[in-house]
Amino acid sequence: MSLVTRRRLALVLAQALLQLSENPWLAKKWNKEHITFFYESLGALVLTKPYLSSVFSADQGGGDDGLDINQFYPCPSILSLGILLIELETVKTIESFRIPDDLTDGVEVNANTDWATADPCLDTPWVSAGQRVSLGDAGTRDGFTRDVVKPLEEELAFLSRARM
């Protein structure tokens, strides 16, 4: 997958998370397993138009309520996107980066394994210590837009100009 295609996909996913978070359109525990790609008529996979799957239920509201209390990272949706961006950048799965310190007793995956693996790459300077992180919060949305969406838009614009 080309760099431009990876950046387009990253931007589409970041914008989708921003638009669909905090409502029932996006699962509370959203991750890469909720993304589907379809083939075009000629058999090529359409990587720039991902489809996000969701299951609606009466007890599923927006936000991150009801998540694993042992999970340290305060906004699993942002963590999931961060992991996806790492995977798109490196063309490797997050699982391939795991080290024994990320696991319980060095062998067992736990609620924080992916966070521990991705943490060195996740920087959220717009979140104060102890602050609830939610894309429903204006400060979090502004920071996410400024530090994630805008840089992806700028890089994609640069890459598009460079290809001309």
For the chain, the structural domain boundaries read 3-163
The residues with which 108 forms a beta bridge, in sequence order, are 104
**What is the tens place of the pLDDT at every residue in 56-79?**
655 554 444 445 545 556 677 778
- For range 129-157, the mean pLDDT: 82
Say whether pTM exceeds 0.75.
no
Helix H or strand E encompassing 6 = helix 3-20
CB 51 within 8 A of CB 37: yes
**What is the tens place of the pLDDT at every residue in 97-113?**
777 777 777 777 777 77
pLDDT of residue 65: 47
Tokens of residue 39, six digits: 């083939």
